[in-house]
Chains A and B, each alone.
Chain A
């Protein structure tokens, strides 16, 4: 993660000041017809994605303290620093190796809708398990912000998370928050803004090569995928999934992955 100094910084301008910008945060609810940046909210189930969503959009999407509250995606918008943001709240998922419908919705969105920034909301009291999804998302996008949520609970459980260390290791901004109490939201907004506008460039952590053998096998496949789908952000990941036998991902790519996001898919029953 580096701060892009190519973008001229002019200190003393109101637009660079977090307090000014927070005061001018305009929550738009669902009244969103144009936007400059699209932001996806991803994360494990029950980490408070919907709470973050509500804090930013002013919507009151029903939140609940249990996994699986959100199964479809919800959308809303806000204006921050004179830019329009569209925010998409994805269903919680433990991984991107989609098996169920809600995981597929999340995977397809991050892969194909190409959000400008993916905010990964993690439960800071269960960091290790949550990082599994974070690493998977960082494999397929390099514009992400980690929202280290539920800091109040971590404090109660006497857990300390070194967010700077984490940010260095992950290569993306890490912002501690307690979304329920609106703590850390201004900082989160600033980080999202910085990544969206390119002021901060992420150098996301990537899983090192699995083995030389696999790397050799996969190379021609990556080339082929890249030539067939030049817009795909991460051909390597798709190739790895294919190699793993996840052929469904190809259908998703063929349909651009978005067709099925808009309606509930009918499933065929082999059992009946």
Chain B
């Protein structure tokens, strides 16, 4: 210990003796050597190619005029393909898992004489929640992730960051925040870890707090499904797909705008300071290795995210079944909760079911829609042939989902606000834990957790208020 202190004291004394040019000298001699060695080793064959593909492409995708429209076009295309492509496989999976296997399981449970609550807990709780997660989430993810990964592999993401960099700097944040935000579009926990590339603690905190405004894996399926069911239904079928895709892009863009506004607010209040500069290297475009990318994005992203959803959905399904079947007096706990939260839900243009779902689904954003659907069947008791008592039995196709939503008094406002609320609520428990690990501070973890949810309440309230005034 003393030895180190001695060395430090000596070093700082020596540091004063030498001139300021020392640092430059060291760097310069490194650069000089690098240049000399590189010059000797590198040569070019013949003429420099007249047409530089990378340069020309960069001139377009990062241009002031075309950069943003191209970005919107690309992302809309990706979502459109996802929306259009996911319909059919989703319906098929629902047919297999929910319409076919589920009744078979029930009759099997009857023949072996399984007690009603065991079969309820396992088949109507655990199995059904899992089956819902798979049929709702697997198809959009299996289409969206490979496309996103292909874009990433090609080298497009740094160009997006490049386009956004200037705006982030104007918001008082670090330009690299655009990169960690791009990561957040995959997973917020990963995005939060990615903020380590930002060297100033102030700017890093801003990036951490605002990362939640990047829609993550778990939230894309909710957005895509609700947009397809409600927004797409507003226009003729021919336009439905593209309009749904545009509305999802709109929500994602709104997230980016909020992320900028909050960054600006933070850097002008509790996190004041100058924005630091950095250089962003645009990598060469690389032809993606198509099949390998498809394979790894299916295995690494799709299956891992799906597995996480299943792991959280299975116990959540049991919890939902339990709160729906444990009654106090004549009324189940779930109904108590839904009725209690209904007024608050109404105020912000949602309903009690959605709020209960967000409470049950804190561990993972992925299971919001399945949870909502299961709770609906329980509270909308007279849902025709679809509900069977307090059990959970319903059909899977989109039309039937829609019937159920309209029975639960869902309107366009509910859909719009659900999409907004899905963007603006607390991070999932994994992300919260990651924030705590990265900042080591309860204060900043709490701010990152509660800021978005307060904003969600405020914005949803304002939308509902104005909506009801106008409509």
Contacts and interface: CB of A to CB of B under 8 A. Distances in A.
B281 A264 contact: no
Interface in A240-256: 240, 242-245, 247, 250, 253-254
Interface of A: 45-46, 60, 62-68, 71-72, 91, 99-102, 125, 127-129, 131-132, 134-136, 150, 153, 157-163, 165-166, 169-170, 180, 205, 207-208, 210-211, 213-214, 217-218, 220-221, 224-225, 227-228, 239-240, 242-245, 247, 250, 253-254, 263-272
B4 A250 contact: yes
A169 B196 contact: no
B284 interface: yes
Contacts of B471: none
- Helix, strand, loop or mixed for chain B's interface? helix
A71 B7 contact: no
A78 B64 CA distance: 48
B23 to A, nearest CB: 5
Interface in B266-296: 270-273, 280-281, 283-286, 289, 296
B26 to A, nearest CB: 6
Nearest 7 A-B pairs (CB), nearest first?
A266-B440, A100-B199, A128-B38, A242-B11, A131-B34, A228-B3, A65-B155
Contacts of B157: 64-66
A163 B42 CA distance: 9
Given A158-B49, A208-B29, A64 B14 contact: no
8 contacts: A64-B149, A72-B193, A161-B41, A217-B14, A239-B11, A243-B15, A266-B441, A271-B201
Given A128-B34, A158-B49, A71 B15 contact: no
A183 B283 CA distance: 21
Contacts of A218: 14
A91 B196 CA distance: 10
A243 B155 contact: no
A210 B25 contact: yes
A228 B14 contact: no
B44 A128 contact: no
B152 A64 contact: yes
B44 A65 contact: no
Nearest to B40: A165
Contacts of B11: 221, 239, 242-243, 247, 250
Interface in B176-203: 176, 179, 193-194, 196-199, 201-202
A60 B299 contact: yes
A229 B15 CA distance: 21
A65 B154 contact: yes
A120 to B, nearest CB: 13
Contact of B14 (A150, A161, A166, A243): A243
Contacts of A210: 22, 25-26, 29
